[in-house]
Amino acid sequence: MSMQPFLCVTGAAAHLPRANVDTDVIVRIERLTTLARTELGPFAMEALRYREDGGENPDFVLNQPAFRGAPVLLAGENFGCGSSREGAVWALMGMGIRCVIAPSFGDIFFNNCFQNGMLAIRLPPEQIEAIARACADGSPLTVDLQACTLTHPAAGMRAFEVDPLRRDALLQGLDDIGLTLKDDALIREWQAADRLRRPWAWPAR
């Protein structure tokens, strides 16, 4: 199964220094039961994004003109914790976010990012704070997955680490199923040989 490859993204980096933003904050469960995957963007982080009267909260960073549509989110500790909810990644991507940088992530959310074309990067809090200060005016941050670097005109370049298999999958736009299907010919070759070796294990169809 293919997804949008992640090669290099440049744009504003919005800073949300809130710890323990869970998947229910990212997208409410009832939205997932009534909306298609492509319709979740307007409801991402709605408790933070909107006021009780339905209007936008001007204090929420992603509503501010410099960061509206920002492709990079600089988040706090344990981002994406809570229940298993792949829709949390879909909702963030629906807002235009392609990369989340945080000191730590909820494990399931972290894995779901890579299965859906989003890059999740772990960096120490002090490095995230430095990047946030440099990007506070909305100036662009470049996230280059091929080089594994973050670059800002004023803050310079810094390297980040990502699992090599996950990196390659994102660069190619492949989830786990897509990676498996790359070896389709080898799988079929093994199946054919095994049919000869163990015909009793392959019932006639």
Tell me the domain boundaries of the chain. 8-199
Give the C-alpha separation, 118 to 92, whole Å: 9
Using 50, 70 and 90 to split pLDDT, how confident is the model at 95?
A: very high
| pLDDT at site 3 | 82
Using 50, 70 and 90 to split pLDDT, how confident is the model at 179?
A: low
Please say if the pLDDT value at position 189 is more than 80: no
Which residues, in sequence order, are CB contacts of 160 under 8 Å at separation 6+?
A: 121, 122, 123, 148, 149, 150
The CATH number assigned to the domain with range 8-199 reads 3.20.19.10
Torsion sign over Cα 78, 84, 86, 88:
negative
User: pLDDT digits over 99-133, tens only?
Assistant: 999 999 999 999 999 999 999 999 999 999 999 99
